[in-house]
């Protein structure tokens, strides 16, 4: 089931009310014998005023405004709003008829679909996106012999794609009207905002570029970044260095979401120790190995949660038997002897 909340001015919530202040289920009235509720939704996306859902059988459902053709449902007969979900592949004269979709993305006023064979289809604002009719981008020189495995879309008519080797391609007002390679570096995911972008590289670290006019807020599990994730105001037009979150710059990024002027990054804490990756040289105080979440297996001669306390003969340095009562444990497995001075 799909739930939404907020403004419904263009029917983007797919409900009867003008707005919703709490999560409300999208209308599931059947269209041409099909209902969204019966399909099993696996992904949702949205633009400024249109919504997209992808079901487990690879069908795209859309609703909301169609003013720029972003619904791809030219059989609606006009560019008005769809008040309930429509299946894009439903119509036999659609280029996507009986095509199985593996991912969807929503720009401000355009929609992107990735077919399971690695081809990308777009529709919506601007002639290069196809207007009200989905078009295949395969004829673009930059996409020849490439298999796209990831798509994302955002403001300024922007679409980003990643192929199966990690090459990043982009199109839109920030790039060109046709896809082109935009970075020599390799990435696994991209998240597009209005005028800024977050990228996740192959080591699962996050980088950012674009405008940067807001500050930073750090939470414990969900890290909220002011656009590019630092306090500078200057725009970063090239690929920026890794986004850092105070002392937590080694988080494993598993997902992100980008708004017009803010960003969210979700990191994986199931296989890390105290905010650091298991293979970072300084994890576990450099004297142990991270073998489970926040659990360090310490080297011989060390103990403590982060292996920063030394031991002698397998005992904590502060115990009386660490040095068999004949000295102090002054370093890892090293006892300093007592020296007694007598004055007569």
Residue 155's nearest CA partner among 229, 255, 47 is: 47
Domains of the chain: 3-192 (2.130.10.30), 283-337 (no CATH)
Tokens standing for 39?
A: 């399909």
Instruction: Count each helix (H run) and each strand (E run) in the chain, helices first.
Output: 0, 26
Rounded CA-CA distance 301/287 in Å is 9
Burial (CB < 10 A; 0-12, 13-18, 19+), residue 34, is middle
The pLDDT tens digits for 15-61 are 889 999 999 988 777 666 677 877 889 999 999 999 999 988 888 88
Question: Beta strands 81-87 and 101-106: pairing type?
Answer: unpaired
Structure-model confidence comparison of residues 14 and 247, the more confident one:
14
What pLDDT is recorded for position 53?
93
Mean model confidence pLDDT for the chain: 75
Residue 72's nearest CA partner among 90, 54, 48 is: 90
Average pLDDT, stretch 240-262?
A: 64
Banded pLDDT at 90 (limits 50, 70, 90): low
Lowest mean pLDDT among 23-27, 73-77, 138-142: 73-77
Tell me the HSE value of 273 on the side-chain side, using a 13 A CA sphere. 21
Structure-model confidence comparison of residues 150 and 236, the more confident one:
150
What pLDDT is recorded for position 294?
81
What pLDDT is recorded for position 252?
67
Tokens 């590019």 sit at which residue?
A: 228
Query: How far apart, in Å, are the Cα atoms of 114 and each of 104, 149, 161, 186?
Result: 6, 8, 10, 20
Cα torsion through 97, 28, 1, 20, rounded to 10: 120
Rounded CA-CA distance 137/227 in Å is 29
> Widest CA span of the chain, in angstroms?
111
Query: How far apart, in Å, are the Cα atoms of 298 and each of 92, 144, 160, 284, 291?
Result: 64, 51, 44, 8, 10
Rounded CA-CA distance 75/68 in Å is 14
Rg of the chain, C-alpha, whole Å? 27
In this model, does residue 216 exceed pLDDT 60? no
End-to-end CA distance of the chain: 90
Rounded CA-CA distance 12/113 in Å is 19
Banded pLDDT at 234 (limits 50, 70, 90): very low
Rounded CA-CA distance 110/154 in Å is 9
Tokens 């306090």 sit at which residue?
A: 231
Rounded CA-CA distance 6/8 in Å is 7
What pLDDT is recorded for position 74?
52
Average pLDDT, stretch 228-252?
A: 47
Average pLDDT, stretch 104-127?
A: 87
Contacts of 281 (CB under 8 A, 6+ apart): none
What pLDDT is recorded for position 341?
45
Q: Are 230 and 261 in contact (CB under 8 A)?
A: no
What pLDDT is recorded for position 256?
80
What pLDDT is recorded for position 236?
40
In this model, does residue 123 exceed pLDDT 50? yes
Average pLDDT, stretch 87-98?
A: 68
Average pLDDT, stretch 71-97?
A: 69
As a 3-state breakdown, the chain gives helix, strand, coil percent values, each rounded to 5, of: 5, 45, 50
What pLDDT is recorded for position 316?
77
In this model, does residue 104 exceed pLDDT 70? yes
Neighbours of 205 (CB within 10 A): 18
Tokens 């894009």 sit at which residue?
A: 88
In this model, does residue 215 exceed pLDDT 50? no
Average pLDDT, stretch 69-92?
A: 70
Rounded CA-CA distance 116/191 in Å is 21
What pLDDT is recorded for position 50?
93
What pLDDT is recorded for position 43?
93
Structure-model confidence comparison of residues 272 and 269, the more confident one:
272
In three-state secondary structure terms, 65 is: strand
Structure-model confidence comparison of residues 198 and 244, the more confident one:
198
């Amino acid at each position: 089931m799909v739930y939404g909340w907020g403004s419904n001015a263009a029917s983007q919530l797919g409900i009867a009310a003008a707005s919703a202040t709490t999560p409300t289920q999208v209308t599931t009235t059947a269209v041409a014998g099909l209902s969204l509720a019966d399909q099993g939704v696996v992904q949702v996306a949205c633009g400024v005023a249109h919504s997209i859902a992808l079901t487990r059988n690879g069908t795209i459902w859309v609703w909301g405004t169609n003013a720029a053709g972003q619904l791809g449902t030219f059989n609606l007969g006009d560019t008005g709003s769809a008040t309930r979900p429509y299946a894009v592949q439903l119509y036999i004269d659609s280029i996507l008829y009986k095509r199985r979709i593996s991912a969807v993305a929503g720009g401000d006023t355009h929609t992107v679909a990735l077919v399971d064979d690695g081809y990308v289809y777009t529709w919506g604002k601007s002639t290069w996106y196809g207007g009200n009719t989905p078009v295949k981008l395969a004829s673009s020189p930059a996409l020849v012999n490439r298999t796209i495995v990831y798509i994302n879309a955002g403001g300024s008519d922007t679409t980003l794609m990643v192929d199966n080797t990690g090459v990043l391609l982009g199109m839109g007002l920030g790039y060109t009207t046709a896809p082109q390679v935009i970075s020599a570096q390799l990435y696994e995911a991209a998240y597009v905002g209005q005028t800024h972008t977050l990228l996740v590289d192959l080591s699962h670290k996050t980088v950012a570029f674009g405008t940067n006019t807001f500050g930073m807020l750090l939470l414990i599990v969900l890290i909220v970044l002011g656009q590019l994730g630092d306090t500078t105001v200057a725009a970063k037009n090239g690929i920026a260095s890794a986004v850092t979150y105070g002392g937590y710059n080694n988080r494993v990024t598993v997902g992100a979401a980008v708004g017009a002027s803010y960003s969210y990054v979700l990191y994986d804490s199931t296989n890390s120790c105290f905010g650091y990756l298991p293979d970072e040289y300084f994890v576990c105080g450099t004297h142990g190995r991270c073998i489970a979440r926040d659990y360090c297996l310490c080297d011989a001669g060390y103990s403590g949660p982060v292996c920063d306390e030394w031991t002698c003969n397998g005992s904590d340095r502060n115990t009386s038997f660490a040095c068999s009562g004949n000295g102090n444990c002054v370093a890892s497995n090293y006892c300093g002897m007592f020296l007694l001075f007598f004055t007569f």
